[in-house]
Amino acid sequence: MTSALLKVSSVSVRFGGLKALDDVSFTAEPGTITGLIGPNGAGKTTLFNVVAGIQRPSAGRVELGGRNVTTATPQRRASMGLARTFQRLEVFGTLSVRENLLVGAESRRRWDRSVRPRSVADGLLERLGLTAVASVLADELPTGTQRLVELARALATGPRLLLLDEGASGLDEHETAQMATLLRTLARDDGLTIALVEHDMPFVMGLCDTVVMLDHGQVVALGTPDEVRASEAVQAAYLGSTSVAGGGSE
């Protein structure tokens, strides 16, 4: 038995001769934030794709809330409380901000008829500070606000587990700090479990409870931010970089 909301066990993914993931294991407890770091091509997005059900692993197992979902469809996983955002920002550009949120809430209605999409959308607009731009088309917004819209749409599906693939990329310093505060509140107060991929070391180290570093598809460091910061793998990869030694983003 495990209390982990997400359990990834010995997952491997092969693309022809390339091992994009090689025997990757980690768990995420409810209400925690897990950061995935590692160089370009390390396998971070592939790992998210395996968790979300977009990529079938060549070996290994994925459990969500104690249930084996290794072969479950993305839709089934969504109905079990999984939501994600994408590395390449994906909003519905010709829909208003409020309509983007309604899409998320409507998709949740497929498995939860008790949902009131309009009140979900309005609640999230308020909470994420988007009320003033509710009727603006997503395409007309700056990147930072679009990132928030994408996050809000994911939240509108009522997830228990949220995967954010570089959700803070393209944000300025102020927006990044706001995003960190929001994610912290969602985890601590709402019990949302979050896994995020981010290249911004101070952001990851200041925000996450657990950090997993991938390199060439393998887990090369796993632990608290302090443990991972001190690990040989991180020291070697970021040697001379003040961004790791610099610590938290608060």
Ligand X SMILES: Nc1ncnc2c1ncn2[C@@H]1O[C@H](COP(=O)(O)OP(=O)(O)OP(=O)(O)O)[C@@H](O)[C@H]1O
- Residues near Mg ion (CB under 5 A) are 44-45, 87
Which SS3 state, helix, strand or coil, does residue 84 take? strand
Binding residues vs ligand X (CB under 6 A): 15, 18, 20, 38, 40-46, 87
What is the closest distance, in whole angstroms, from the C-beta atom of residue 198 to ligand X in the complex? 10
Least distance in angstroms from the C-beta of 24 to ligand X: 11
Could you tell me the smallest distance in angstroms from the CB atom of residue 101 to Mg ion?
25
* Residue indicated by tokens 């994420």: 128
Nearest by Cα to 182 from 212, 158, 155: 155
From the list Mg ion, ligand X, none, which binds 204 (C-beta under 5 to 8 Å, kind-based)?
A: none
DSSP state of 151: H
Comparing CB distances to ligand X, the nearer of 43 and 225 is 43
> Can you count the helices (H) and strands (E) in the chain?
10, 10
If contact means CB under 5 to 8 A according to the sort of partner, which of Mg ion, ligand X, none does residue 114 touch? none
Q: How far is the CB of 57 from ligand X (least distance, A)?
A: 13
Shorter beta-carbon distance to ligand X: residue 19 or 127 = 19
CA distance 197 to 137: 27
Decide if 150 contacts 139 (C-beta within 8 A).
Answer: no
